[in-house]
Amino acid sequence: MLTSTLIYGFINSVILLLMALGFNLTFGISGVANFAFGALYVTAGFLAWIALNTLGLPYWLAAGLAVLGTAVLAGLLYRFVVLRVRGLVVSEVIATFGVGLAILELFRFLGFIGFEYTLPELLDAELNLGGVIVDGQRLVILAVGAGLTLFLWVFTRLTRTGRAFRAIAQDEHTALTLGINTERVATVSVAFGAAYAAVAALVILPLGTIAVNEGYSVLVNALAVCIVGGLGSTLGVMVASFLIGYAQTITATYLETSWMMVVSLLAILVILLVRPSGLFGSQKQLEERI
Amino acid sequence: MSNPGKSKQGTRRRERLDRGIKVRSEDIYALNSWREAIYLLAPRAFPVLALLALALLAPLYWQRVLVSATVFALLAISWDLAASSGMVCLGQALFFGVGAYLAGIMNHYFHLPPALTLPLATLGGGLICTLLLLPVLRLRGIYFAMVTLILPLMVERIIEATKIFGGTEGLSGLTPFPHPLVESFITMAALWVALFGLRRIMASDYGLVLKGINDNDRAVMSAALNIYRYKAQALFLAAATGAFAGAFMTHAYMFVGMPVFALDYSILPIASAAVGGLGTLAGPALGAFILVPLSEMLRGLGGLRIVIYAVLLVVFTVGLPEGVFHYLRRKYTQFERWTEVGK
């Protein structure tokens, strides 16, 4: 019981981490609101499904197409819709959320509902960890989660583009004076975040079916993890995923499932009250309270 | 970004000037002629009379839609009041739900009539929400928004888990209003009291302090004003407005349950404010009167309804970022002309 809670809590946490990484990249690191994130996640799933089943492409080509397609879609969305209201925070949130809502409900209208919408598992293996059997797909999730986190950390510190992502959130005017085209960097950041969402979708969705409602819960989870971890901090996002992930798994095992949401929401509330900028948030330390 | 001033018209730009009648009617001259008096009164009297006429003449179905639009307009006013005082709130559902449950509890367990539950739930709901949010008043921006987003979701889950107040079933069979027209009149009265009353407050010196907190809270603090007092008072006004809307809906539906904490009641007021125009209280109310009937008109389209609704929302927000109200007000008070630049 205990080992199984520990192991599945760990996997649950990595799933949360994967969902939150892309959102953290766009909203946390670059300070660009993209509330169509959940819709992009689901879009990637359906794109891969269409490429695999309708067009009959091999898996790696389909997966690449899904990731690329989602990133391009997000970039276009940002360039032609959101850029016009950049700086008006409420309008940004409403516009991106509206686009996400339109995408998700369009899938529902077109009839993308049912058990046949699944993606194939990548690894057909099993691992016995101290009496607990973990299937291959969950192992893939662990590996991809670790890889993407490491890549994000390295990318935002060592590459020019990655540093520009952080720069436009820290001080847009200073970034402009240093020759960073903030609008282009914001667009690239949105596309990059969408690509992360697509990869997360490709490895997480095989555990269940591609459901429209998944889009809403992914958005809420990602938002919660990013806020608790502190906007812009990759380490914070990791710690927050494990906190919330374990809180959820432990309540589901030892309490009733109906308390699962209460416990994770309560954890978020308490952390926000004690440390309003999140566990490791550093960007707006002076801004969050007075 | 396109630049119409440069590409086609050479070096011209659009200039906006106040209309003469607007300037005249701001002064004592407003009492001198009917024209000026009507110019001032028309934008205030027209919505009141139009809504009254619609409530009396429209078919029963559309009367219900109007009532529901009025309730959302109240929520939107509540959101805008809090937002103009520096508190961007994502949890209007908390105010709405607390008011709704208070009215439901008073009616179900103590058998109080709506004439008592409505005012009691309004004041009590405002008080409870203010006390709940008092510890987080020191947070601002997105952090305050996150806490308010989480609270209604949590209250909903707690009711589900502890099964209090009817749990998932809710409380049903509550006292309804005697006549549909009574519903229309109650909501309309509440809307005009909230709209004109709060607009007057925001135009006073007191409102200036609230707006100051939104613009630069540290400047207000350095003027030796206790901003938490002001914020708590503004929060009470906003929460009471939202709680009234909830208490009213409880009696109108004769039911109160977990859906009153749903995300709809938090999102639609914000969408109304984005469509109508922030910071004027009238704008968000106007937005609610655009969005709610729009969503009803699209009901015939079935599953496509939410898609079209969302697309229209995006078009409104992106195409008219200032909001419908600001646009209309500009057209009403100013005229525009092209002027040469650089001479």
Residue A115 lies in a domain: yes
Residue entry with tokens 């416990």:
A263
A window 208-267, beta carbon within 8 A of B: 223-224, 227, 231, 256, 258-259, 261-262, 265-266
Residue B26 lies in a domain: no
Instruction: Please answer yes or no on whether B273 and A90 come within 8 Å at the CB atom.
Output: yes
pLDDT, tens only, A21-48: 888 888 877 778 788 888 999 999 999 9
CB atoms within 10 A of CB B339: 11
Which range of A133-137, B4-8, B82-86 scores highest in mean pLDDT? It is: B82-86
Residue B229 lies in a domain: yes
Instruction: Please answer yes or no on whether A98 and B307 come within 8 Å at the CB atom.
Output: no
pLDDT, tens only, A195-221: 999 999 988 888 888 888 888 888 888
pLDDT, tens only, B289-324: 998 998 888 887 777 878 888 888 888 888 888 888
Query: What single-letter amino acid sits at A74?
Result: A
Name every chain B residue with its beta carbon within 8 A of the beta carbon of A105.
Answer: 303, 306-307, 310
Token duo for residue B124: 């009590």
CATH number of the domain where residue B37 is located: 1.10.3470
Residue B159 lies in a domain: yes
B151 vs chain A: nearest CA distance in angstroms?
8
Residue A147 lies in a domain: yes
Helix (H) or strand (E) holding A128: strand A126-129
Q: How many domains does chain A have?
A: 1
pLDDT of residue B5: 45
Residue A286 lies in a domain: no
CA distance B16 to A84: 22
Residue A116 lies in a domain: yes
Instruction: Please answer yes or no on whether B141 and A259 come within 8 Å at the CB atom.
Output: no
What is the extent of the structural domain holding A194? 2-212
Residue A281 lies in a domain: no
Residue B6 has pLDDT above 70, yes or no: no
Residue B7 has pLDDT above 50, yes or no: no
pLDDT of residue A284: 54
CB atoms within 10 A of CB A62: 22
Residue B340 lies in a domain: no
CB-closest option in B136, B150, B270 to A94: B270
Residue A286 has pLDDT above 70, yes or no: no
Token duo for residue A49: 């499904």
CA distance B144 to A105: 29
Nearest CA to A18 out of A162, A144, A188, A207 is that of A144
Name beta bridge partners: A127: A134
- Contact status of B143 with chain A (Cβ, < 8 Å): yes
CA distance B67 to B73: 10
Residue B35 has pLDDT above 50, yes or no: yes
Mutation target among B318, B322, B324 for the A interface, most CBs of A within 10 A: B318
**Ordered alpha helix ranges (H), A81-208:** 89-109, 136-158, 160-170, 172-177, 182-204
What is the extent of the structural domain holding B327? 32-333
Q: How many domains does chain B have?
A: 1
Mean pLDDT for all residues in chain B = 86
